[in-house]
Structure formats: structure tokens, C-alpha cells
Amino acid sequence: MTHRLRINGTVRSVDVDDDTPLLWVLRDVLGMTGTKFGCGRALCGACTVHIDGAPARSCITAISTVGDKAVTTIEAIGKTSHGRAVQRAWLEVEVPQCGYCQSGQIMSASALLAKNPRPSDADIDAAMSGNICRCGTYIRIREAIKRAAQANGKGA
């Protein structure tokens, strides 16, 4: 069946089964490969996108549940102030190694900062522990989130 989606500010139509996960619509149908597949069971966070600003695991989000809510992916997160600050901090701190999980990390981090501009270490643990990084870049992720929070605080 045909589904109309609002992705990164553009309306897209796709013809897939209702239970098709959003992840595969993004990656395989629309060719937006920045969102990654990691586990298929919401265990690793690699596929994190925003739905109406809240982080969601696209690998278990059936397309029929998205409706006309706004979907934001890594490709467009730099257009938001938090996303931009997070990406800049990621560059300054040199967070990524293999980089594969980082789209999801950045989506989780920018959702955190949008809700909580001054997260504590415990807040960071709570928001980020659903995102696995096998390269173990956690120390730099934490540092970059704090740096992005500071930059946002200065109105950068």
C-alpha cells in the first residue's frame, strides 16, 4: 500500500507493506543510506532517527505508524541548531572511529540536547546507553555532548 511520509521536510510516497520498518524504506527504497542497520531489534541504536523530534529506532518502527509525523534523519540533522552543534563537537573531539554507529549516536545526542540543554553524566548515560559503539568511542561521545551543550549555551 502507498504511504506518504514527511522526511527531512519533503513529502515522499512509497509503496510497501504496512509492517515494513522505516529503516528499510529509508535505506533501500529511498536510498538514504546515512541511517544504519545494526541489529533489527532496537538493541543497538544504529538506526536512530527523530519522529516529531523524539528519538526512534527505525528498525522496529512500522511504516504504517509514522503517518504524517515529521521524520528527521542524519542527512538533515545539521539543519537544526542542536544537530549542528553536535556534529561540530563530534569533529572537534574526533569522536568517530569506524563511524558506522555514529549516525545513530548523533541522532540520540541531538535529541537529548533538544530536550535537556545541560545534561548531567547520568542524563547522558540514560539517553545514550541504547546506542552501542563496538569501537568504544564512549569517552569522546560524552566529551562531545558536553562541548555541544556548552556551545549551544553560548548561543553559537
Partner 1 sequence: MIRDPAFRATRSAPATDLSRRRFLQAGAAVGGGLLLSFTLPFAESGAEAADAVAFAPNAFIRIGRDGKIVLVMPYVEMGQGTYTSIPMLIAEELEVDLKQVQIEHAPPNEKLYGNPLLGGIQATGNSNAVRASWQPLREAGATARTMLIAAAAKRWNVDPAACRAQKGVVLHESTGRTARYGELSADAARMAVPDKVALKRPEDFKLIGTPAKRLDTPAKVNGTAVYGIDARPPGVKIATLAQSPVFGGRVKSVDDKAAKAVKGVRQIVRLDDAVAVVADHMGAAKKGLAALKIEWDEGLHARLTTEDIARELEKATLDRGAVAQNIGDVDQAMAGAATKVEATYQVPFLAHATMEPMNCTVHVRKDGCEVWVGTQAIARAQAAAAKVTGLPLDRVVVHNHLIGGGFGRRLEVDGVTRAVEIATHVDGPLKVVWTREEDIQHDMYRPYWFDRISAGLDAKGMPVAWNNRFAGASIIARYLPPAFNNGLDPDTTEGAIDLAYALPNMHVEYARVEPPGIPTAFWRSVGPSHNVFVTESFMDELAAAAKQDPVAYRLALLDKTPRAKAVLQLAANKAEWGKPLPERVGRGVSLQFVFASYMAHVAEVEVASDGTVRVRRVVCAVDCGIAVNPDTIQAQIQSAVMFGVTAALHGEITLKDGRVQQSNFHDYPALRMNEAPAVEVHIVRSSEPPGGMGEAGTSAVVPAVTNAIFAATGKRLRKLPVDTTALKRA
Contact residues: partner 1, CB under 8 A: 16-17, 19-21, 23-25, 27-29, 31-41, 43-44, 46, 73-75, 78, 87, 90-91, 94-103, 106, 124-126, 128-142
Q: Rounded to whole angstroms, how far apart are CA atoms 9 and 11?
A: 7
29 versus 70: smaller Cβ distance to partner 1 = 29
Instruction: Give me 136's grid cell.
Output: 568504544
Q: How far is CA 68 from the centre of its chain?
A: 19
Q: What angle do CA 122, 125, 126 make, to 5 degrees?
A: 90
Q: How far is the CB of 115 from partner 1 (least distance, A)?
A: 17
Residue 113 in contact with residue 148, Cβ under 8 Å? yes
Q: How far is the CB of 57 from partner 1 (least distance, A)?
A: 12
90 versus 114: smaller Cβ distance to partner 1 = 90
117 versus 130: smaller Cβ distance to partner 1 = 130
Q: Taking the CA of residue 151 as centre, how many other CA atoms within 13 Å lie in the half-sphere pointing to its CB? A: 20
Q: How far is the CB of 153 from partner 1 (least distance, A)?
A: 21
